[in-house]
Structure 1
Amino acid sequence: MTPPLVAVLLASALTVPGPPATYMPADKQGFGTARQAGSPVWFTLGRGGLNEVFYPDLSTPATRELKLVVNGRTATNARTEQVGRLRYRQVFGGPGWQARVTYTTDPSRATVLADVEVEGERVDVRVVFDPNLSRDGDDDIAVDQPDALVARDRLAASALVADHGVTPVSATTGNVVQTGELRLRHGRTTLAMGFGANPEEALTTARASLIEGFPRHARRYDQGWDDYLKDFERPRAADRDLYETSLMVLAAAEDKRNPGAFIASPSFPWAFGFDREVAPEFGSYALVWPRDQYQIAGALLAAGDTRAAHRALDFMLDVQQRPDGHLPQNTRVTGEPHWTNVQLDEQAAPALLAWLLGRADRDTLDGLVRAAEFMVSQPNAPFTEQERWENQGGYSPGTIASAIAGLVCLADLLQRAGDPRAARFLAIADDWEARVEGWTVTRTGPFSDRPYYLRLTKDGQPDRGTTYNPGDNHPTEIDQRAAVDPSFLELVRLGVRPHDDPVVRNTVRVVDEQLKRGRFWHRYNGDGFGERADGGPWNIGHGRTYGRTWPIFAGERGEYELLAGDPGAARGRLADVASAANAGRMLPEQVWRGRGTTSATPLSWTHAQYVRLAWSIEAGEPVERPAVVACRYAERC
């Protein structure tokens, strides 16, 4: 029986500065936001409750966590379930008690709401709220307010209110952790976390949301996503719930103030969430990569959301840098560059997406030409400063495939517009296509007595035993001939090589022998971007770490198998990707021992790969494969 009134007391008073601000583990059990543009907040759920809330955009986390403390112990290991469209309930339990917390956002305001229901006899419940405003919680200031928990920094403010009142008790300084006393009526209350440019705006927002009530917001929230999904068909091979969740996760990953800006993940894995040397400004992964944009936009286009794909392309072209027209490695959703290394596949991504969209207007073509001119003018191109795993430069077959396909797609669009620049880009593409094996296929490597593609070569001489350190805490240098990567299949997916090319088929065998573990594959031999042997977090310079397997490779293999005439195998790969989903239907970056690690979760790329493979199975071939490239090289139409 639930007592009619339950006192909820937050943690005891603290009078010293809080510890340096960090973020919670990256294996999110849920990710949500209202579909409506009037609500510039997004939330994530961890295993112990609410984690990051993003405000006012998707590159700006504004909280660390909201957690319950029951009978003196922090509630952990919640059971998470979807109870609506990207809307979740978490259930916590212990001896003699149970707590259910359901989350939604106000579709019209910058407010996240948590409906809390507690059952139990003589249960002491506490709640702790930790704001981390403007990507940095170390400069937050608690604001005195008699009936709310309010904090601010110089750019933003947060306010937590409750429908039955909240009495502040204490707060730390610097990294503010706020405490207060709540009252639950009949074992239930609703919390509203409002955000604004200043304390007054945050309080007004939270209180207005609270007045309208949790049920109304939840109904409007679900309706917004229902309205989005109703316009799209569903591929028959996909699991309905996971497919719809994946589509919503991709749509939710688009910033509302900066249309077309899709982030890689609303999470900060490993050292990116706690080490200021690795990440001087926390926020990595909540950024926009042109490569991930292409993956996301291609999936949304396949699903029928053509307008979103156009917005993604517009954003790519808008962030081109002056005067050379290159695309930065990644940017914030505002378009401000974050990491600035050059990756040639990202320079080709806009042309690949533009071809899928049939965009041949003058402004688009001018932007694509600027990116292509930059790409072909790089020293020793198609040598890339970084390939798609972002920790090595060299001649990468995956990167070269993207570059060749991008140039052919651009040339086709130019030819449609009667633009004479097409011939030059085609000539370069043909030259690179003729030389790709010479740069990247070894005949003297240790894995086979027949030729196979390498992960990359540092010098364009694949039969030479050039050594390099793979990075990410690898203890020694390796021979470049002793590292392979499933990414070589980009040559097939993008139409540069046929599926039955002898070198392709031999490399498939080599990659399986070297990298396949269970359902999935590692990125390459010696990959250290992952966890310690015991599952501890990746960090630089603190011991050996091990990259785990990636579900995206099952999707890429499924696309290859479609081209090889084996749709049954492709359907099996789709099921393999689905098997990586957690209870909240979030798909991870990496998997270990059959479940997602504390890698970036949800990873937009993984959800995009699931959507794209489902539609490729429906079509009988990869939906993003540019026919103009395949006809020129793989099929000789």
Structure 2
Amino acid sequence: MKSPKRRVSAALLTLALVALPAPAAAAPAEAPGAPGTGSAWTTGGKEGFGTSAGTASKVWFTLGQGINHEVYYPTVDVANVQDLQYVVSDGAGFTQLERDHTTKQVTLIDPRSLSYRQTNTATNGRYRITKTHTTDPARATVLIQTRFEVLSGGPLQLYALYNPSLNNSGMGDTGATANGQLVASDGPVSSALAASTGFSKLTSGYSGSASDGYVDLSGNHVLDAQYDSAPASGNLVQLGQIPVGTDTTFTLALGFGGNRAAASATASASLTGGFTAADTAYRSGWHNYLSSLNAVPGSITGAGLTTQYNVALMTLKAHEDKTYLGANVASLTNPWGEAKDANGTGDCGYHAVWSRDLYQVSTAQIAAGDTAAANRSADYLFTVQQRPDGSFPQNTRLDGTNCWTSLQLDEVAFPIVLVWQLQRFDAAMWAKVKKSADFLVSRGPSTPQERWEENGGYSPSTIAAEIAGLICAADIAERNGDTASANTYRTTADQWQAQVTGWTFTTTGPLGDGRYFERIDGNGNPNDGQHIFLQNGGGNHDERAIIDAGFLELVRLGVKPAADPDVAAALPEVDSTLKVNTPNGPMWYRYNHDGYGETASGGPYTGAGIGRLWPLLTGERGEYELANGRSASAHLATMAAAANPGYLIPEQVWDRASTGGFTFGEGTGSATPLAWSMAQFVRLAHSIDAGAPVETPSVVKQRYANGCASVSAQFSVNATTTWGQNIFVVGDRPELGSWNPANAVPLSSVNYPQWTGTVGLPKDTTFQYKYLRKEGDAVTWESGANRVATATGCTLALTDTWRP
């Protein structure tokens, strides 16, 4: 659509020429149409990404759909670009976006560097665009070496179409032409787009409006209007024509700075230095990093997976911020970002820091030999994220401010475990660990949310982390002379270890033989049929019917022995309900009725969908198999097979026959890469070589290696009651209420007239107990002498009959 032209009469023009001694310069054209259409991000399914290995260049690029997606600067949680791609026109008959009109191939061109090349060939056979990506290790510049080839029917015109979304917002940008570059700004972030050839035409406008250069170009395949500035805040779009022939190679530079002048100077300096020099230094940085690590595991080299392993390690390092050292975001993506508002709403996406994910990354880095990175993360956790009460938030932005606002107790425990694994036993760290351990004792074991971040209650996976955290904290306490705290932590952990099965293992479930761990239980009574409302659109269900494989944390963290019979008994239900054999190997759902994934038709998740398969769960299962002396090589191979051509392992993969652009067993539009997935791959590889899970804290495993440090006392009493009456057990131990009826342990009537319940007791302790009946405020004790028992073994079954 052409812009309106200003007309003046010949008489007025003559008068003006007479009145002025010299011709006046033409006024710069300001783009109309602000603020333009609304803005969104791009799909979370990235095919490649990169950043320099050093800290001087604070810029990260992502690739997908054959083009550049989000670019982050100056920190890894600030997105500044929706997309950057080329537009091709013949000037008369067609105008095409390379994203929409080409067949695409992405290639990792250096197996020891995050160096990617995109090759896009026009579906009409007219042209090919080959792009090689790097960042300038000395500056905040993304460099794109581009070869444009006309394959038939030239000449053709080439344009760079840049859609900035600076400072995490797509609607606050202003832009202009300056010194032959396209510059833009939003608050503290500015960008400059420059080309080594220069631009022959430049324009800035507002998306979807008449000033949008792509809209103008699409109208008649000619760029008619050029606007020198777009001064009103809005959804800025910038377009620059690049002079090309039939085979032209040039470099595009996207530089960033605190203002437009700084961004422009950065882009210009990178172009002056040249793509080859920057790319050589970029690759050398990654080569040196990989060379500083432990030898590649035999499980990797023997399976031909060295490139996959190296990319996984580089991915973990690349997700660490360069200002807030030790802060690794979960993913450089915004899952299903194409359906998410980018209008400055403050959505963190996955570029936030979860202490749980950081633990996963750090344990992989420890195994690979990058203990320096893991130590930086431990310092970040306890310096930036830890709250005064010892808790850790659900997740944060890099500066420690809340992103989401819930509390997950495994995220309080994992930093303690990490510190223990790093042998950070000094007094200063102990003072911080004590706060977190005390918080766990006072708030656990029930958690406001478990690791899938949606529901609260008694979670096997969370309780496993809490127990491991307390045992690690006890060891650190003892090393610092605080035996009282050490005793408190161990006693609490032992009680929870003895009771975790009683809280979360149902014997009356509707799946399989009815005996398995639930995903989560609201009140610690796994047989009462309480309902759970899944917070992602998954519906309302009997909690006994919702399972996941989170209970395997009990083995991986050393809380239960590898051959624990209850853990083994739960696997058939997990596999029959959650396992899918994909073309790439077996994978598992998070849990049944999960609603976190694409819709049935493959549309983006916007609050309800169908949960898909998670490759990292294949890795977790592999660690369990290793702990039991079985092979996990197939699990490692499956994880590698789930990676895309850029060697990036996704959060989720498509779970059924290929349809709607998705391939069975391949990544979806969720988060690719997910740092946790890449970390699990690395850790599993080292675990295979070690013959056991390398993340298992030895101090935890040693305590519970014989199956228990305390005894799971399982009370069962046959008692008939009338409506409104309930049966309790009480005794001389604190765990049994210390003879106080108000603190008596409630029993379940699910198998009425048998009333049952489980209590964790210290081993080899002789105790006394009795049953009592409550009806409102009235308490009736059973008759006869106190019952006496001794807590021996790991499980103590007490079968009694009410004595009237």
State the Cα distance separating 1:358 from its structure 2 match: 0.9
Give the secondary structure class of the aligned counterpart of 1:78. Answer: strand
Q: Which has the higher strand share?
A: 2
Q: What displacement does 1:451 show?
A: 2.4
How many angstroms apart in 1 are the aligned matches of 2:387 and 2:83? 40
Separation of aligned partners in 2, 1:571 and 1:403:
30
Write the letter of the residue equivalent to 2:398.
V
Match of 2:263 in 1: 202
Flag the 1:393–1:312 CA change in 2: closer, same or farther, 3 A. Answer: same
TM, length-normalised to structure 1: 0.94
SS at match of 1:187: strand
> 632, 638, 648: which one pairs with 1:586?
648
> Is the partner of 1:465 in helix, strand or coil?
coil
1:416 is displaced (CA, Å) by 2.2
Partner of 1:373: 438
Distance 1:190-1:79 versus aligned 2 partners, 3 A rule: same
Structure 1 stretches of 4+ moved >6 Å: none
TM-superposed deviation, 1:374: 1.6
2:350 to 273, 285, 294: 285
Q: Does 1:488 align with 2:511?
A: no
Deviation for aligned residue 1:468: 1.9
The answer to whether the Cα contact below 8 Å between 1:106 and 1:112 also exists between their aligned partners in 2 is: yes
* Alignment pair present for 1:101 and 2:124: no
Are 1:214 and 2:242 matched, yes or no?
A: no
**Shift in Å, 1:271:** 5.8
List gaps (5 residues or longer) in structure 2: 1-30, 90-94, 207-229, 655-663, 710-804
Q: Does 1:574 align with 2:641?
A: no
Cα separation, partners in 2 of 1:602 and 1:631, compared to 1, 3 Å: same
CA distance 1:586–1:368, shift in 2 (3 Å): same
Letter matched to residue 416 of structure 2: A
Distance in 1, Cα, partners of 2:468 & 2:157? 62
Asked if structure 1 preserves the Cα contact closer than 8 Å seen for 2:66 and 2:119, the reply is no
Residues 1:81 and 2:107 aligned together:
yes
Residue in 1 that maps onto 2:420: 355
Matched, 1:610 2:677: no
Query: Is 1:183 aligned with 2:237?
Result: no
- The 5-angstrom pairing of residues 72-471 of structure 1 reads 72-76=95-99, 77-84=103-110, 85-94=113-122, 95-120=125-150, 121-166=154-199, 167-172=201-206, 174-184=234-244, 186-232=247-293, 233-238=295-300, 239-270=305-336, 274-275=340-341, 280-378=345-443, 381-420=444-483, 421-449=485-513, 451-471=515-535
Moved more, 416-425 or 92-101: 416-425
Structure 1 residues 71-80 or 582-591, which shifts more?
71-80
Which letter maps to 2:167? S
TM-fit CA distance, 1:452 = 1.0
Secondary structure of 1:161's partner? strand
Structure 1 CA distance for aligned equivalents of residues 134 and 387 of structure 2 = 41
The C-alpha deviation readout for 1:232-263, integer Å capped at 9, x for no partner, is 21011121000000000000000001110001
How far off its partner does 1:323 sit? 3.0
Cα deviation, residue 450, structure 1: 5.0
**Is contact 2:158–2:243 with CA below 8 Å preserved after alignment?**
no
Deviation of 1:164 after TM superposition, in Å, equals 1.1
Q: Does 1:522 align with 2:589?
A: yes
1:321 Cα deviation from its structure 2 partner:
4.6
| CA–CA separation in structure 1 for the residues paired with 2:145 and 2:267 | 14
Aligned residue for 2:178, secondary structure, equals coil
Q: Secondary structure of 2:175's match? A: strand
Q: Distance in 2 between the 1:633 and 1:446 partners?
A: 31
Q: CA deviation at 1:272?
A: 8.5
User: Which range moved further: 281-290 or 617-626?
Assistant: 281-290
Is contact 1:383–1:395 with CA below 8 Å preserved after alignment?
Answer: yes
> Which deviates more from structure 2 when the two are superposed, residues 186-195 or residues 238-247?
186-195
Deviations along 1:439-470, one digit per CA (max 9) or x if unpaired, are: 10101101133521000101111001111221
Give the deviation of 1:471 after TM superposition: 2.4
Report the AA paired with residue 252 of structure 1. Answer: A
Q: Give the % identical residues.
A: 44
Query: Residue in 1 aligned with 2:695?
Result: 624
CA RMSD, Structure 1 to Structure 2 (Å): 1.6
Structure 1 residue 32 corresponds to structure 2 residue 50: yes
- Provide Cα deviations, 1:315-354, integer angstroms capped at 9, x if missing partner: 1101245431211111112222211211000000111101
2-side partners of 1:149 and 1:560: how far apart? Answer: 54
Q: Deviations over 1:9-64 (max 9, x none)?
A: xxxx8744332221110100001000111100000001131111100000101111
2:265 and 2:78 map into 1 onto residues whose CA distance is 21
The superposition leaves residues 479-519 of structure 1 with CA deviations (integer Å, 9 ceiling, x where unpaired) of 00001101110001011112222111111111001100111
Residue 83 of structure 2: SS of its match in structure 1? Answer: strand
Q: Is the 8 A contact 1:150 1:159 kept in 2?
A: yes
Query: Are the equivalent residues in 2 in contact too, given 1:41–1:111 (CA < 8 A)?
Result: yes
Closer, same or farther: CA 260–362 of 1 in aligned 2, 3 Å: same
Give, in angstroms, the shift of residue 564 of structure 1. Answer: 1.1
- Letter of the aligned partner of 1:296 in structure 2? V
Whole-Å separation in 2 of the counterparts to 1:180 and 1:15: 19
Q: Is the 8 A contact 1:470 1:477 kept in 2?
A: yes
Alpha-carbon contact 1:143-1:152 (below 8 Å) kept = no
Counterpart contact for 1:14–1:170, Cα < 8 Å: no
SS in 1 for 2:149: strand
Contact 1:18 1:177 in 2 (8 A): no
Greater shift, 500-509 or 221-230, is seen at 500-509
Q: Could you tell me how far apart the structure 2 residues matched to 1:170 and 1:622 are?
A: 55
Instruction: Tell me the distance in 2 between the aligned counterparts of 1:618 and 1:598.
Output: 33
Cα gap change, 1:329 to 1:531, in 2 (>3 Å): same
Match of 2:566 in 1: 503
- Mapped to 2, the partners of 1:284 and 1:319 lie a distance apart of 20
Quick check: 1:66 aligned with 2:117?
no
Larger Rg: 2
Q: Distance in 2 between matches of 1:608 and 1:83?
A: 23
- Choose the corresponding residue for 2:67, options 49, 57, 70: 49
Match of 1:591, SS state, is: coil
**Structure 1 CA distance for aligned equivalents of residues 88 and 341 of structure 2:** 30
Inter-partner Cα distance in structure 2 for 1:273 and 1:292: 25
Question: 3-state DSSP class of the match of 1:631?
Answer: helix
**Alpha-carbon distance, 1:213 to partner:** 0.3
Q: Output the CA distance in 1 between the equivalents of 2:476 and 2:34.
A: 63
Which residue does the alignment assign to 2:800?
none
Q: CA deviation at 1:190?
A: 0.6
Counterpart in 1 of 2:668? 597
Length-normalised TM-score, structure 2? 0.75
CA distance in 2, matches of 1:600, 1:449: 36
Residue 66 of structure 1 aligns with an amino acid whose one-letter code is: L
Q: Structure 2: how far apart are the matches of 1:335 and 1:115?
A: 37
Q: Which residue does 2:788 correspond to in 1? A: none
